Structure 1
Amino acid sequence: MRDIPIPSREFRRVLGGFASGVTIITAVEADGTPVGMTCQSFFSLSLDPPLIAFSPARTSTSYPRIRDTGSFCVNILEASQRPLCEQFARTGTDKWAGVSWTPGRTGSPILDGVLASIDCELEREVEAGDHYLTIGRVVELDSNPGVSPLLFFNGSYAGLSNAA
């Protein structure tokens, strides 16, 4: 099959129609400094063993710091945490200003009030185009049932409707 160029604008438009949850990936560096980044490319990968995956951009400045720790926590955001999402998406600012958290099993920050937390050890990383595919082995997880997720859909934030 021949390579048919797909315009990035069209690729983004079509795939933007797939609603995704929003996460903040966190870790703690050897000197005790917390590091984190917003990430919407996250999914479950395997039940046995329990694996998850996320895909940070190769241009990320936070991701190499997370990778170097060897562990991380996926914090799945709930609907009211859009400001937190935006805070961790910025570069060159104190992402942790005013943020409350507790250490998970790996020491990685579990952010207060999240829908769920998934604490992981780094299993593997694969270069994939302009992103990495990062696979984590789940060592601990928790959730807060009854809260709604923060979603990203068609280039903006969205929530769930009870009109089903």
Structure 2
Amino acid sequence: MHTRSPRAQVREFDTRHFRDALSQFATGVTVITTRLANGAFLGLTASSFNSVSLDPPLILWSLGNAANSMPVFTGNSHYVVNVLSSEQAWLAEQFASRKTDRFDGVEYTLSRTGHPILSGVSAWFECHNRSRYPEGDHVIFVGEVEHCEFSPQAPLVFHSGQFLPTSK
């Protein structure tokens, strides 16, 4: 069930102020990967990742409406959420770049459904693309986890516009 509350009060801040306030919340960093219809791979950096439910196992992440990859992620049946380790800031930067081949120099294996699992990540979640919810200037993707693995290690943490050093 999707319900909405009565309209919010008029905001007294601008978008930049809101972004700066959000940057005070430290997040982990993920790379979401999938496969295009022609067999090529697609991946993007996202910090908007969270757990939703243990039974069934559900996660969520969001993607901006203006993203070129929106049709691919809305149309595909599966994707993999790769949780980056503290040593993988370069992967976060590479998959956030405008490079045409973001997988250049990246080691990976394929999931059971043929989607890239990046090597050396802290955890990965292979998801069925269960549902999508348009909200504001983003779409919230809810994935039902079909397979997952983890390797306990220090996570990559993003706070106030930069990656933070972490230790395990």
Asked if these proteins are the same fold (TM beyond 0.5), I'd say: yes
User: What's the counterpart of residue 163 of structure 2?
Assistant: 157
CA distance in 1, matches of 2:43, 2:109: 14
Root-mean-square deviation over aligned CA pairs? 1.4
Whether the 8 Å CA contact 1:37–1:63 is kept in 2: the answer is no
Indicate whether 1:129 and 2:136 are aligned.
Answer: yes
TM-score by length of 1: 0.92
Q: TM-score, normalised by structure 2?
A: 0.90
Q: Alignment partner for residue 122 of structure 2, among 115, 126, 130?
A: 115
Q: How does 1:133-144 map to 2 (within 5 A)?
A: 133-144=140-151
| Structure 2 residue runs without a partner (length 5+) | 1-7
Q: Distance in 2 between matches of 1:76 and 1:60?
A: 21
| Pairwise CA distance, 1:9 | 1.5
Q: 1:71 touches 1:122 (CA, 8 Å); kept in 2? A: yes
The aligned runs of 1:21-100 (5 Å cut-off) are 21-100=28-107
Whichever residue aligns with residue 143 of structure 1, its letter is: F
Give the Cα separation in 2 of the matches to 1:72 and 1:22. Answer: 16
- 1:104 has 2:111 as partner: yes
Q: Aligned residue for 1:148?
A: 154
4+ residue stretches of structure 1 with deviation over 4 A? Answer: none
- Unmatched tracts of structure 1, length 5 or more: none
What's the % identity of the aligned pairs? 39
Residue 106 of structure 1 aligns with an amino acid whose one-letter code is T
DSSP-derived class of the 2:44 partner:
strand
Decide which moves more: 88-97 or 58-67: 58-67
Q: 2-side partners of 1:83 and 1:54: how far apart?
A: 21
Counterpart Cα distance in 2 of 1:104 and 1:30:
16
